[in-house]
Amino acid sequence: MNVLEVRSLSKRFGTEQAVDGLGFELAEGSATALIGPNGAGKTTTLSMLAGLLEATAGEIQRKKNLSIGFLPQYPRFFPWLTALEFTEMAAKLSGVDSKKARQQAERTLGFVGLGQVANKKIGGFSGGMKQRLGLAQAMVHQPSLLLLDEPISSLDPTGRREVMELLKSLLGQTTILYSTHILNDAEEMTDQLLFLQNGRLVEHGSLNQVRSRYADPQIRIRFENTNAAERFGRESPWPAAIQGTAAIIPIKAEGPIMQDVFRFLSVKSLPVVGVEQQTASLEDIFLKVVAGK
C-alpha cells in the first residue's frame, strides 16, 4: 500500500529545471531517504509534496485524506509565541479538535524533549531547540506522512542520536520521507534510497540493492610496517594498491577471495596486523553516484 505516488514530477523556475521527471512511491510505514548534492532539487521536491509549490508537470497521487506534516530545513517561528502556544495553534490549524489540541501539543513537546520549556517564548530558543520544535509542529496532528527537510543536520551529535531514535519509533504507523546530508544516519534508517542530482533521480532502491550496484567490495590488509606492505605489493599476484602500511585489493569476479589472501600471507609469513573485507559505505556510493558512476 502506497501513501504517495509521484510520476514524472517536474518543476521549472524560469529557465532553470529544478526537478526533472521524478518518479517514486512511498510505501506505508516506510522510511525513505532523499540524498544528493546541494542544489539537486531536494527542497523543491519536498515543497511540492507538501503543497507549497505547484509542479510544472507531472502528478502527485496522495492516498485519500492523507495528512502531512512538514519540517522545512530552517523552520522559522513567531518569536513572541511560546512553544506550547505555537504547537497548539499548529494542531488546531491542521484540524485537531480544540479540546485535544493542547493535550496533544503538550505530549508532542515532551516527546521531542521540549517539555521543560513549553511555556517559554520561542524567541529565546537555540538552533537545536527550534529544530525540535519544528519536528513537534510537524507531528503534533499525528500525520500519516512526515516530510522532513534535513531534520538532523543542524543538531549536535547527542541531539542527532535522540532525534533519530525518535523518528525510528514513529516508523510503522508513520511514513517518513527525509532529505539528509548525514549519510551515516541515512544508512541507519532507510527502506528506500532516492539519489537526486540536477533534479533527476539518478539512483534508487533499497540500501542493499544500491550497495550491490556500487559495492566494489575490497580486501584491506594492514601490515606492521611499510616495507611489508610494499613487499606484498611487489609479490602478490593481485593488483594491490599500497597506502602506507595498508594494501587494498579490489574483489572482482575473477579476483581473490579471503582464503587465497590468507594462504598467500601465511606462505610469505608477512607481519600482518589485520585483514578485513570492506563494503562501500553510503558515502562512497554517494561520491560515485555524484561523479557519474
Partner 1 sequence: MKQFSTLLLKEWRENLRNYKIFWIPVVFILLGVTEPLSNYYLPQILDATGGLPDGAVIELPDPEPEQLLVAVMGQFQLIGMLVLVLAYMGSIAGERRNGTATLLYVRPLSYVSYFLSKWLMASIVALISVWAGFLAGYYYTAVLFSAVPFGEFLAFAATYSLWMVLVVTLILFASASMPNAGLAAGLTLAALLILQLVDSLFGNRWEWSPLKLPNYAASFLDIGPDAAALTWTFAISLACLIGLAALGIWFMKRNRAKTKV
Kindly state the smallest distance separating residue 5's Cβ from partner 1, in Å.
Answer: 20
Kindly state the smallest distance separating residue 110's Cβ from partner 1, in Å.
Answer: 20
Kindly state the smallest distance separating residue 152's Cβ from partner 1, in Å.
Answer: 18
- CB atoms < 10 A from the CB of 71, how many? 23
CB 149 within 8 A of CB 71: yes
Of the candidates 122, 193, 112, the residue with the CA atom closest to the CA atom of residue 152: 112
Closer by beta carbon to partner 1, 54 or else 254 = 54
Closer by beta carbon to partner 1, 13 or else 172 = 13
Closer by beta carbon to partner 1, 135 or else 152 = 135
Binding site for partner 1 (CB under 8 A): 43, 47, 50-54, 68, 70, 72-78, 80-81, 85, 89-90, 92-95, 98, 134, 137, 149
Kindly state the smallest distance separating residue 268's Cβ from partner 1, in Å.
Answer: 60
Measured distance CA(34)–CA(50) in Å, rounded: 15
Closer by beta carbon to partner 1, 52 or else 273 = 52
- CB atoms < 10 A from the CB of 44, how many? 21
Kindly state the smallest distance separating residue 89's Cβ from partner 1, in Å.
Answer: 6
The DSSP-derived string for 8-25 is: EEEEEETTEEEEEEEEEE
Measured distance CA(127)–CA(159) in Å, rounded: 11
Closer by beta carbon to partner 1, 57 or else 257 = 57
H/E segment holding residue 110: helix 98-111
